[in-house]
């Protein structure tokens, strides 16, 4: 039996096709904008220093243990691999300390002028500018090793350490209770700047004009 199509049905089909054609460039533009925001950035290595003292009741660290944990967090946030994290001050060497501390010297990427950042003054263009992109990280994920017992450490990372880095789209929450371990009590997710060429960044650890000064 032949199928009959009315004029109204033809009109609806034409209208639907026109809407699809109009929307396609908009969706494509959105994808292109997102890709442009992720890639094609220029950034410079900038020296940062911090004296960090852990004050918490649930997780306990020796100075060496805190040094290792903070180093891991800094690398995840995008610090260059030639960073220096040293125990200071320390009273109970090799054992949990009441107030373990570390001294941090590192280089982090800052966008050149005209690009958005949530970490203080924007760096100015220099010959040492490197291609970079935004990378999504989740410090509280099981893969990254920050456990539920380290809820208080994550709070201090958000307050004291994260502002040293260029970040965007930060998601943070905390419901820490001293002496209690609660899954999901704290979370910290953000986009951080990392170099496109990870090998070139690693090669800079042998010496660079932007390297943080030694002791």
Task: Flag whether 93 is in a domain.
Answer: yes
| 187 token code pair | 């979370």
CB crowding 180-213: b at 16 or more within 10 Å, else e: eeeeebbbbebbbbbbeeeeebeebeeeeebbbe
Tally of CB atoms within 10 A around 132: 26
Q: What are the two backbone dihedrals, phi and then psi, of residue 135, each rounded to the nearest 5 degrees?
A: -125, 130
pLDDT of residue 5: 42
Task: Flag whether 2 is in a domain.
Answer: no
Task: Flag whether 3 is in a domain.
Answer: no
pTM of structure: 0.70
Task: Flag whether 31 is in a domain.
Answer: no
Instruction: Give the integer Cα–Cα distance in Å for 187 and 128.
Output: 34
Task: Flag whether 185 is in a domain.
Answer: yes
Distance of CA 83 to the CA centre of its chain: 16
Task: Flag whether 213 is in a domain.
Answer: no
pLDDT of residue 214: 47
Q: What are the two backbone dihedrals, phi and then psi, of residue 200, each rounded to the nearest 5 degrees?
A: -65, -35
Domain that holds residue 80: 39-206
Task: Flag whether 211 is in a domain.
Answer: no
Task: Flag whether 164 is in a domain.
Answer: yes
pLDDT in tens, the chain (215 residues): 444 444 444 344 444 444 333 343 433 444 444 444 556 799 999 999 999 999 998 899 999 999 999 999 999 999 999 999 999 878 777 788 888 999 999 999 999 965 555 555 555 545 589 999 999 999 988 666 677 788 999 999 999 999 999 999 999 998 888 877 877 778 999 999 999 987 656 665 555 444 444 44
Q: How many domains does the chain contain in total?
A: 1
């Amino acid at each position: 039996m032949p199928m009959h199509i009315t004029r109204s049905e033809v009109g609806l089909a034409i209208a639907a096709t026109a809407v699809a054609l109009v929307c396609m460039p908009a969706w494509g533009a959105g994808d292109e904008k997102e890709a442009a925001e992720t890639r094609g950035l220029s950034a410079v290595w900038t020296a940062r220093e911090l004296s960090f003292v852990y004050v918490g009741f649930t997780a306990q660290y020796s100075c060496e243990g805190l040094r290792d944990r903070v180093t891991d967090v800094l690398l995840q946030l995008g610090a260059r691999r030639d960073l220096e994290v040293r125990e200071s001050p320390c009273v109970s060497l090799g054992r949990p300390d009441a107030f373990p501390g570390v001294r941090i010297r590192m280089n982090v990427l800052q966008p050149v002028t005209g690009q958005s950042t949530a970490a203080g003054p924007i760096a100015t263009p220099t010959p040492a500018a490197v291609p970079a992109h935004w990378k999504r990280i989740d410090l509280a994920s099981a893969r990254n090793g920050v456990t539920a017992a380290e809820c208080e450490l994550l709070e201090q990372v958000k307050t004291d350490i994260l502002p040293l880095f260029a970040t965007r789209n930060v998601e943070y929450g905390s419901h820490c209770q001293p002496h209690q371990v609660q899954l999901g009590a704290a979370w910290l997710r953000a986009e951080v700047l990392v170099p496109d060429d990870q090998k070139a960044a690693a090669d800079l650890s042998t010496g660079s004009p932007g390297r943080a000064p030694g002791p």
